[in-house]
Amino acid sequence: MSDFLIINGKKLQSESAFISAVDSGFTYGFAIYETFFIKDSRVAFFNEHVERMRKSIEYFQIRIENDFTEKIKSQTKELIHSNQIKNGRMRLTLSPGVWSLPDLKSNSVTTVLSASPILHTNTSIQLMVSSFRKTNEVFLPDFVKVTGNFPSIFSYKEAKENGFDEAVLLRKDGIVTEGSFCNLFWIDEKDRIKTPSLDSCILGGVTRSEILKAAESIGIKIIEGKFSQNELKSCKLIYISSSTRGLLRVSQLDKRIFPEIQPDSILNIQKEYEKRESESLKLFSD
């Protein structure tokens, strides 16, 4: 059975689905996107992801229809059913459509919904510190998730070529930012949980935000700030967060191997996060 995509509201078989060769997502590498986690054929934190995309749409002054959210929700349900996905990932990509110089105006956007099953789930992840660096200054707001994110792309490629799963990206001044496609948390030498702050040049991940809320709701403090590479390398344990992986243990950073232990603080945060995730699945069914 062929997989399906939904492009501009139309369901198409993946091998026959195309966008314009002059779409801005292709000609300029400019599009925004969200990655969703599908669990039990429903989408976790659907509203939070779409709301973040709507903020990006507003920031870039892209015109969308008033019922954008309702249409995406309906198309999402159709796509999950058509592709028969129980557990997987879905991606919503939106570009300004056919967008040309010099006025950079577009009459209609291009939306692409794709979904695929997650066949294997990892219990840990291996990271390396990338040789690629991010700038010291914030270029885009922390809620903007764009396709042309070259530090993430090239650091991920570098990690894979060296036998790792993902990479840790530093700024040019050595401040820790994030993983190639994930946010970072760690437990320092004093058993404090830390994560880079939004002004460290990171993406404000939906999962990161939900983990912070989960921790706060059960009285566990997570310290946000700007931290050096030395602090990361001297910590006791590291975790990553992403939509499809939740809060996941890091088993290795460069040559250092971390013990297979889970502190009570992390276990409690994970438990509370899973409650929030389950509640969001119910909201998606409404």
**Which tens digits make up the pLDDT trace of 54-85?**
999 999 999 999 999 999 999 999 999 999 99
Could you tell me if 226 and 200 are in contact, meaning their C-beta atoms sit under 8 angstroms apart? yes
Question: What secondary structure, in 3-state letters, does 14-28 show?
Answer: HHHCCCCCCEHHHHC
Q: Cα separation of 168 and 174, whole Å?
A: 11
pLDDT at 155: 98
- Amino acid (1-letter code) at residue 153: I
With cut-offs at 50, 70 and 90, classify the pLDDT of residue 120: confident
Rounded to whole angstroms, what are the CA distances from 98 to 22, 55, 69, 110, 222? Answer: 6, 21, 22, 8, 43
pLDDT at 2: 55
Top-confidence residue, 156 or 139? 156
Domain ranges of the chain: 4-117, 124-280
Strand locations in the chain (E): 4-7, 10-13, 32-39, 42-44, 88-95, 110-117, 124-134, 166-171, 176-179, 183-187, 193-196, 222-225, 237-242, 246-253, 256-257
Q: What number is the average pLDDT over the span 34-52?
A: 98
Could you tell me if 14 and 2 are in contact, meaning their C-beta atoms sit under 8 angstroms apart? yes
Q: Per-residue pLDDT for 248 more than 90?
A: yes
**Which tens digits make up the pLDDT trace of 185-194?**
999 999 999 9
Beta strands at 32-39 and 88-95: parallel, antiparallel or unpaired = antiparallel
Architecture of the domain spanning 4-117: 2-Layer Sandwich (3.30)
pLDDT at 102: 56
CA distance between the termini of the chain: 29
Return the number of other C-beta atoms located less than 10 Å from residue 101's C-beta: 7
Beta strands at 222-225 and 193-196: parallel, antiparallel or unpaired = parallel
Assigned CATH class of 124-280: alpha beta
pLDDT at 1: 42
Is the backbone peptide bond immediately before 102 cis, with ω within 30 degrees of 0?
yes
pLDDT at 150: 92
**Which tens digits make up the pLDDT trace of 169-181?**
999 999 999 999 9
Return the number of other C-beta atoms located less than 10 Å from residue 284's C-beta: 19
Instruction: Give me the chain's average pLDDT, please.
Output: 94
- Global pTM? 0.94
With cut-offs at 50, 70 and 90, classify the pLDDT of residue 100: low
